[in-house]
Amino acid sequence: MLDECIRYFKENKGYKRIFYQMRNKYISYGKLSGNIIIDNPEKIELEAVRGLLGRVVEGNKIKFKISEFEKVLKESRFREIELIELLEGYFSESLITKKEKKLEKEVARELFFTGIRERLKITGEYNKTAAELLEKIIRDKGSFYKHDTDNIETENMIYFTIKAINFLKKSTNRIKIALLGAKITSNPHYFDRGMPAGQLLLNLLFYIHGIEYTKEAEKVLELYYISGIEIDTISSFTTAFGISLYTEKGIHQAYEEFIKQSEECMITMSNLKKIIKADCKKKKVFIVENQMVFSHLCEYFKDKEVALLCTSGQLKTASLILIDMLCKEGCTLYYSGDIDPEGIEIADKLIQRRGNKIIPWCFTIEDYKLNISKKIISEESIKKLEKIKSDCFIELIEEVKKEKRAGYQELILDKMKEDIKKINWDL
């Protein structure tokens, strides 16, 4: 009887839209109730409703209650058939409501993570860190992975990433990202930044170190460094003058020779690998953004006890690491950059990082009036000033917004030299 009933309704195409609406309502609401509404019905649909309900429909809309359809079914020779089983037979599938699907998905997800947890326990990788990271991944609900797309691959990715972090926390030596991938998975490219596992690794490392997630290249390099991953050791560099470096064995003689010769030196991440301390004689370091300004100051203060550092624009990881070391030794750092949104932004980042150890230098309104240029600052660039957090820039920011012109370090070289003499009073 069920097969015959299904065949009856399927052979009459006038019932097609009616059945689809009943199906969708059941999936959405979990019950067969409400109205069936067919806009702009075709002739075959009008005839089907007239034959079913004995009703002549006028106008451009068919409307009736699902309960009316069910009543007709119960009064026919198909009265033993339930409407839900008719629908399932009509569509050749078990109808599952959205609520049931959601519950099934939640149960599957719970089993999925239980499986990962057990795998970590069996292999001895489950510890406090692993438990915390797994809970974070569960809370994120797929921000950095796709659950249900390929559960085996996703399970491996989560397991191997947590295993890699356990390895990093235990290791006393730095390891290249390719060697980390090879050691944990036999695939040297597994944790590359462009790979899903590489993104998950970054996400979890940012979380562990309490740093806000970002795709900014220098922030990522810094994160790798503090996590024990050996990064690109050449492209990240800083340039120093009059700054002493120390290894575990004591003062680094090669860099000390640069000081004796009164010459500047380039320091790469590779050079910093064994450096544990940075210091200078007068505990005062003058940091400039511009390479030409730095070279001029180095030449001017040749054979003088002045410590200078050049960031060459944006703050590279090598510069940040050296700045952190200097601050740790009690040095006061004076930072000077161009007076434009980007220059103020860099100064603000340093202050947020190291507080009162960083003194804004040549960032007053008077300095701005001296070094202001004809270069117009774009509106897009001006918007960056809204993100500045340090109160010391409030008046300067208002002036920059009003003038909308950039101020450059090169225009106040003489003032910078006089400032350094005053601060290092015995020059």
Q: Is 176:187 a contact under the CB 8 Å cutoff? A: no
Which residue has better confidence, 231 or 210?
210
pLDDT for residue 269? 84
pLDDT for residue 52? 86
Report percent pLDDT > 90 for the chain: 62
Q: CB-side exposure of 356: number of CA atoms within 13 Å?
A: 0
Average pLDDT over residues 190-194: 89
**3-state helix, strand and coil shares in percent for the chain, rounded to the nearest 5:** 55, 15, 30
The segment with the largest mean pLDDT, out of 134-148, 166-180, 243-257, 313-327, is 243-257
Average pLDDT over residues 136-162: 79
The number of residues making up the chain comes to 427
pLDDT for residue 412? 93
Which residue has better confidence, 142 or 80?
80
Average pLDDT over residues 89-95: 89
pLDDT for residue 150? 58
Phi-psi domain of 399 (left: phi exceeds 0; alpha: psi -120 through 50; beta: other): alpha
Q: Is 278:245 a contact under the CB 8 Å cutoff? A: yes
pLDDT for residue 233? 63
Catalogue the E-assigned strands of 233-331.
Answer: 237-241, 244-247, 250-251, 265-268, 277-279, 284-288, 307-310
Distance between start and end Cα atoms, the chain: 106
Average pLDDT over residues 376-383: 93
Residue 391 has pLDDT above 60, yes or no: yes
Average pLDDT, whole number, for the chain? 90
What is the Cα–Cα distance from 353 to 103, expressed in whole angstroms? Answer: 46
For the stretch 331-371, pLDDT in tens is: 999 999 999 999 999 999 999 989 889 999 999 999 999 99
What is the Cα–Cα distance from 62 to 14, expressed in whole angstroms? Answer: 12
What is the Cα–Cα distance from 290 to 298, expressed in whole angstroms? Answer: 12
